[in-house]
């Protein structure tokens, strides 16, 4: 997904250092999040596995922290831009920390989905542009907004799947509040906004670059009925999560 941004806007910076930092930070944040996630009676096989191998999660958290610190130090001149991503990532997982100062975060109505979608978009779309030191343009704005709403639509499906668990844990989001009909409306509105801002890129980047960005939007829309009736981990973590990077794979194939 970062490579897609680099390619679309011809970004010049030390790609390896940035990739290594994001890899370490992702490993760190995900293992931190799932290490703090309590086991539920109705937990999926994946979460049950997490509970059995909690020490392994702690190990990968420490390894990811080490990697991100080593390579993050080499990006220290961009500390403010990187700090925004770190803060948003922390806010997503902070409600799970079993300390009173963090408990109130679980009561933020739309926090969970907004923070997660923002982090995915910011780290893979906005941050590479900022690290490269490129002058910000309207194309960058349209691209980042389009990516955000695609990711948000996918996160809505995850929230729909998890909403009963979230209600039990007191974690609130828009999806835990509204009816199924309104969930679908928000989902479709998000995809419509993603398509709209992506279409604005026509004439700013080549048509062969814009079209792959539109493909996952259509696929996600077509999968709504199936995704709200089938909650397989394989479907959610391979198919739906995979759709976030489908356009990057398509662009890579076009470059070969």
C-alpha distances out from residue 16 to 66, 75, 94, 226, 240, Å: 16, 11, 29, 38, 27
Q: pLDDT tens for residues 118-143? A: 999 999 999 999 999 999 999 999 99
- pLDDT, residue 107, reads 59
Task: Flag whether pLDDT at 199 surpasses 90.
Answer: yes
Q: Which of residues 243 and 233 earns the better pLDDT score?
A: 243
pLDDT of 204 above 90: yes
Q: Is the confidence at residue 108, as pLDDT, over 60? A: no
**Alpha-carbon radius of gyration of the chain:** 18
| Residue predicted with more confidence, 111 or 202 | 202
What DSSP state is assigned to residue 172? -
Give the pLDDT band of residue 162 (cuts 50, 70, 90). confident
Residue 189 has pLDDT above 80, yes or no: yes
CB atoms within 10 A of CB 148: 22
Instruction: Quote the pTM value.
Output: 0.91
Among 25-39, 135-149, 215-229, the least confident range: 25-39
What SS3 class is residue 202? strand
DSSP H helices in 94-205: 100-103, 111-121, 127-132, 138-169, 174-177, 180-199
In this predicted model, what pLDDT tens digit does every residue of 3-34 receive, in sequence order?
A: 999 999 999 999 999 999 999 999 999 999 88
pLDDT at position 84, please?
94
Contact yes or no for 28/59 (Cβ under 8 A):
no
| pLDDT reported for residue 244 | 96
More confident residue, 110 or 247: 247
């Amino acid at each position: 997904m970062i490579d897609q941004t680099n390619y679309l806007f011809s970004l010049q910076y030390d790609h390896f250092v940035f990739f290594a930092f994001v890899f370490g930070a992702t490993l760190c944040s995900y293992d931190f999040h799932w290490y703090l996630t309590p086991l539920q009676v109705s937990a999926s096989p994946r979460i049950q596995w997490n509970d059995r191998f909690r020490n392994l999660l702690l190990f990968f958290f420490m390894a990811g922290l080490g990697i991100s610190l080593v390579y993050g130090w080499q990006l220290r001149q961009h500390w403010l831009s990187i700090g925004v991503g770190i803060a948003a990532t922390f806010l997503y997982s902070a409600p799970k920390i079993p300390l009173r100062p963090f408990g109130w975060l679980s009561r933020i109505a739309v926090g969970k989905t907004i923070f997660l979608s923002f982090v995915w978009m910011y780290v893979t779309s906005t941050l590479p542009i900022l690290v490269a030191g490129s002058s910000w343009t309207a194309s960058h704005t349209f691209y980042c907004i389009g990516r955000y709403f695609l990711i948000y639509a996918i996160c809505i499906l995850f929230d729909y799947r998890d909403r009963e668990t979230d209600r039990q844990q007191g974690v609130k989001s828009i999806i835990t509040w509204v009816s199924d009909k309104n969930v679908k409306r928000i989902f479709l509105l998000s995809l419509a906004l993603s398509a709209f801002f992506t279409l604005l890129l026509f004439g700013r980047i080549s048509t062969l670059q814009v079209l792959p960005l539109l493909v996952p939007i259509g696929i996600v829309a077509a999968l709504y009925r199936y995704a709200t009736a089938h909650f397989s981990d394989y479907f959610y973590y391979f198919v739906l999560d995979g759709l976030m990077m489908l356009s990057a794979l398509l662009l890579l194939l076009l470059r070969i």
